Amino acid sequence: MTLVSAQNITYSINENKLFHNLSFGVNSGEGLHIKGGNGSGKSTLLRIILGITTPTKGLIKRCSEDLKISYLGHKNAIKNYLTPIENLELLFNDVEIKIAYEWLYKFNLSHVQDELAASLSFGQQKKLALIRVLAQSPELIVLDEPFVGLDQTAADQLNHFLEEQLSEGVGLIFTSHINPKISCKVLDLEAKNV
Amino acid sequence: MFRLLKTESFKLSNKLKSWLGPLLIMVLVLIAFPLSIDISQYDLEKFYFSIIVVSLLMTSFVATEGMFEEDFEDGSLEQEFLIEKDFYKLVLSKIIVYVCLIGIPIAFIGALFSFANGVAIGSFAKVFLLLILSNLLLFNLFAFGNALSINKGAMLGVLSSLPLALPVIILLGRAIRSIQFGDGFSSIIALMFGLGLILSAMMPLIISAALKTHID
């Protein structure tokens, strides 16, 4: 099943076309890696897919209006004055929070779960933001540079978790400068092909 | 909606500066202002309401300053947009939570200080109700200003919406006169209540559109 598809997406800023007539789709259990240099429009394309930014031309189609999407952008959406547990409790109900606790353990954050998020390192905050995304049991995961700030162990872990999500039928769209160890389609914004 | 009310009240109650700051400013102004001018007790009874009006305006101004800024800066607004598809419920929840956690305590402090400064105990409930409704109106207006200039410093937007607060101040002045002279209080309260309902229903729509423009 195609979760989301882009048809002839064009986006211009001040009459400069960032990208032109892009078309692609992501099915259940399929990954799409969006590649490109700085300023090539990777993040903008993600925001267009999510419906946050409106494209100059073209259409984004979702399989359902209720498609459950989890997103992590450049901003972590972490409240610094709350602990990791409290940050997760803001989002999850009593059942979901148990899944979030398991993710805290998997990402090795259990020992800092009662400290203020402000005292966590950048990498730990990133992990916490990733837990928010993964514990939501989404149908489509959208990540903007998920590997930035993670050490090699955490990056390997994330690769493994994302592979797991793909095998469970979750769709994945992400941008990354590095080549991740995930088998997926690649959309190169500079070469303009999939 | 319940999720948002719970989330927003949890967030605000954990931000000591955001809710305690306006309350302390209210207390400070109400104590300091009468001490700093040389007026007799008789005159103070007459002028004390004016002091309350000014403190109310100031505290609403300060209370709403960071209403959306933090969520915009840390990316929470984008996350909320993905869940709700617009910001209507979020804005409404924030205003309700701000009125409950900041507006009502401010109204209570204002009513208490009025009583302590010679206003009859019978008028306590009237002053309390009046200040709650004024807070509801002011929070709506300043939230709009805050949303307008969220990426250029929220204070600028709150300042730009200050002229919109003038009709509320005029209404508040009329209501105070009606408390002092005992005439037409209920009709003014009814007018303020109606305005509060209309603003609370309409303002989140406008603010939602402004916030969407900012994250686009």
Contacts of A82 in chain B (CB under 8 A): 11, 14
The shortest CB-CB distance from B76 to any of A51, A74, A77 is to A77
Sequential DSSP letters for A52-99: SS--SEEEEEES-TT--EEEE-SS----TTS-HHHHHHHH--HHHHHH
Residue B166 Cα to chain centre, angstroms: 13
Residue with more model confidence, A189 or A53: A53
Identify the pLDDT of residue A113: 83
Stretch A95-111: mean pLDDT: 83
Q: What is the pLDDT of residues B163-185, one digit of tens each?
A: 888 888 888 888 887 877 777 78
Is the per-residue pLDDT at B187 higher than 70? Answer: yes
Q: What is the pLDDT of residues B135-154, one digit of tens each?
A: 999 999 999 988 888 877 66
pLDDT interval class at B44 (50, 70, 90):
low
CB B69 within 8 A of CB B94: no
Q: Which two tokens stand for residue B63?
A: 């209370």
CB B148 within 8 A of CB B161: yes
CA A150 – CA A158 distance, rounded (Å):
9
- Test A73 with B75 for CB contact under 8 angstroms: yes
Contacts of B86 in chain A (CB under 8 A): none
CB A107 within 8 A of CB A69: no
**What are the two backbone dihedrals, phi and then psi, of residue A9, each rounded to the nearest 5 degrees?**
-80, 125
pTM here? 0.86
Domain count, chain B: 1
> Looking at the domain A1-68+140-146+172-193, which fold is it?
Rossmann fold (3.40.50)
Strand residue runs (E) in chain A? 2-13, 16-27, 31-35, 57-62, 69-72, 140-144, 171-175, 185-188
Burial class (CB in 10 A: 0-12, 13-18, 19+), A92: middle
CA A1 – CA B56 distance, rounded (Å):
57
